Structure 1
Amino acid sequence: MNQMAESPMRNPLTRRLITVPATLALTVTLVVLAPVALPLMVIVDLLRLRPRLPLVRGWIFAIAYGVLECAMLVVVAIMWVVSGFGLALTSGPSRRAHRALQRWWVGRLLALLSSVLGLRFSIEGVEHLTPGPLMVLGRHVSLVDTLFPALALSDSGLSLRYVLKRELEVVPLLDVVGHRLPNYFADRSGTDTEGELAALSRLASDLGQNDSVVIFPEGTRGTEEKRARAVERLGEHHPELVDRAAALRHTMPPRWGGTFALLDAAPEADVVVFAHHGLAGLRGLRAILAALPFRRPVTVELWRIPRCDIPDGHAERREWLFDLWTRLDVWVEEQGASVRSAL
């Protein structure tokens, strides 16, 4: 049986009784220790010849994020009471309020990333986001890149639905708000592929002119080891795609099951790709701390593909998806070459 399904963390109440107090306790601990920890980190940063103080910035960001998370949890608890103790959470006004809260939270989080960690970014091609319905395919190398679609789509007047990995349910605010809005936390274990694809089909089956759904076809943040394993698995069932997958240098081979389920369920939806450069290598805490503060701006570029240009057959659609991901991989390489030549 699926161990995840057997875990008590699969029960929302049990999970939140653990994750919410843990988040509060961690935030309080960071605040209480700050008067001692921050001076010590200043010394460590200076001894390491890091005058821009990455450890200090990381601690301050962790405090600010924790405080924001806790404050938002209070807000969503109040919203639950106002909705009639949860009875009207799926109503139109409640969902609009939660979407507004989601947009506000994304804006504050990006502001923290900018002011504390030095993140700079630009998004080109936002005019391609209207009209809907849209299916958004995003490159995934960092937790930060999941924020760009939320910002751009919300500011373009589109409501968005996310396909998220189930492991993110341990983040309390994502867990609570994510389940109040039409999103889906996918189980990537592969133990019930048919059920997962059916759930994704339901997610996209009623997209309207002002709706979008976001998925990251790579399925995970890539490393050389993960890329090699993905190519090996691909060779077991689709050897004709191995050479193309192995040629990808900056992206993971796209996994098409979820993407195709969404496309089949929303036959009127165009596709928009969120390509970006500047976040590679920021996959873990150590790598992020080593990069702080961010010195180079992140470039985000949007490409829109009309639905009439997307094949209907799954074999032809696989070729189309790999063509698209090859284009993305080449674009990332060109962006990197441009940055290196400017140094």
Structure 2
Amino acid sequence: MTVPPPARRRLLTVPGLLLATLVGILVTPPVALGALAADLVTRRWQLRWFRLWFLALGVAGVEALGTLATGVLWVRHAPGGIRSPASVAAHHRLQMWWVRAVVAVMRRTIALRYEVDGVDLLGRGHAVVLARHASHLDAMLPAWLFGVLGDRRVRYVLKEDLQWSPALDTVAKRLPNVFVDRSPVAGSEQLAHLHRLARDMDDDSVCVIFPEGTFYTPTRRDRAVARLARTRPDLEALARRFRHILPPRPAGTLALLDGAPDADVVIVGHVGLEGFASLAEISRSVPLRHPVHVRVWRHRRSELPTERDDIITWIVRRWLELDDWIDAELARRRAATDPGDRPDGPSSDPIAPANPEAP
């Protein structure tokens, strides 16, 4: 679906969001009581619908406050330039506030907790970050890792339909980010934008891309394998070994690597958010049974080959290693989990110590 121009789009999204949030607050008493009653009548003792209502209301409230804050920042910084260093710093602080606030909402409503292996690898120095994309809830994970934990500036390659989110739409356009469709072709203007996004990074910045382009399903995996086999038939056998994630689309990653020829490559994988790709899955998956296990791998640029085809092979092999880790972690969880085990409630700390038994 084509996204309308910014002015026309925001005439719809900003009033719509503010009105929906206000209505949500006003109807919360009867809706919350109804959700609670539905949970109890159907013996959903973990109060799934009750939690989901407050998750939706909390996220909408954060989005509405963030949208209002963008107006305040425009009034304050427009005279000196909305992309001036002072404005960029202020919008970065707003972005990090948004991430912290959304994580806090999810911690209190659906028991989101993180355990992170490799925090020390977030380090200094610019990097191209390749992150797993399993659900609607993991898009902000790199911003949490690098922006909140690592105190870094985070640049994103974002799907163009995310511009329907008014706070994200406005802040992302005022900071160095690029909106793209899922399948930029070689030589397209979008890839040129990605090249510039990486080229202009400083040592405190990272560029984040989700190489899969969308969530995993077996059908999408088969299509991704066929697409890769058309251009790289020598990689088809490797691509068919993927079980939990999609073979990566290399074009966007290559554009970022070309733009930052000395940047390290960081891979971010996670297990625990697989059941959040649709509303039906979300309703069955809350509250979370386990912490979300996050693992970070960092590869120095000197480890990468220099030829384009060899880089693509290297990316696919690293992505397959991530798939192997996910498979081992899921097997470990299945072996260790009591089917009746459910959390008593949200953790007070969104970052749990990394499990020493994790691979």
Instruction: Output the TM-score relative to the length of structure 1.
Output: 0.94
How far apart are the structure 2 equivalents of 1:51 and 1:329? 34
User: Which ranges of structure 2 fall in alignment gaps of 5 or more residues?
Assistant: 338-359
- 1:10 alignment partner, SS class: coil
1:280 counterpart SS class: coil
- Residues 1:263 and 1:190: Cα distance change in structure 2 (over 3 Å): closer
Equivalent position to 2:101, from 73, 87, 108: 108
Task: Name which of 71, 76, 80 aligns with 2:70.
Answer: 76
Take 2:167 and 2:277, find their aligned partners in 1: how far apart are those partners?
21
Q: Tell which deviates more after alignment, 276-285 or 145-154.
A: 145-154
Partner of 1:91: 84
* TM superposition shift of 1:42: 1.5
- Aligned-residue RMSD, C-alpha: 1.5
Residue from 107, 118, 122 that aligns with 1:125: 118
Which residue, out of 322, 330, 343, partners 1:328? 322
The 8 Å contact of residues 185 and 251 in structure 2, kept in 1 or not, is answered as: no
The share of aligned pairs that are identical, in percent, is: 38
Q: Among 171, 175, 187, which residue is 1:177 paired with?
A: 171
Asked whether the 8 Å contact 1:132–1:158 carries over to 2, the reply is no
Q: One-letter code of the match for 2:244?
A: H
Deviates more, 1:158-167 or 1:180-189: 180-189
1:266 and 1:52 mapped to 2: Cα distance? 47
Q: Is the 8 A contact 1:69 1:173 kept in 2?
A: yes
Pairing 1:64–2:80 present: no
Q: What SS is found at the alignment partner of 2:248?
A: coil
What are the equivalent positions in structure 2 for 1:299-310 lying under 5 Å apart?
A: 299-310=293-304
- 1:252 matched to which residue of 2? 246
- Deviation string 1:303-335 (CA, Å, 9 cap, x unpaired) is 100000111111111110111011000000111
* Inter-partner Cα distance in structure 2 for 1:113 and 1:247: 34
Q: Which residue of 2 aligns with 1:187?
A: 181
2:221 matches 1:227: yes
Matched, 1:141 2:130: no
C-alpha distance in structure 2 between counterparts of 1:38 and 1:156, whole Å: 37
Partners of 2:127 and 2:265 within 8 A in 1: yes
Does the 8 A contact of 1:123 with 1:299 survive in 2? yes
Secondary structure of the equivalent of 2:151?
Answer: coil
Identify the range of structure 1 (95-104 vs 33-42) with the bigger mean alpha-carbon deviation: 33-42
TM-score by length of 2: 0.90
Query: Residue 26 of structure 1 is aligned with which of 12, 20, 24?
Result: 20
Q: 1:308 to 1:252 in 2, by over 3 A?
A: same
- Structure 1 runs (4+) deviating above 4 angstroms are 189-193
Whole-angstrom distance in 1 between the partners of 2:11 and 2:187: 29
Q: What is the CA distance between 1:191 and its match in structure 2?
A: 7.1
How far apart, CA to CA, are the structure 2 residues paired with 1:157 and 1:38? 37
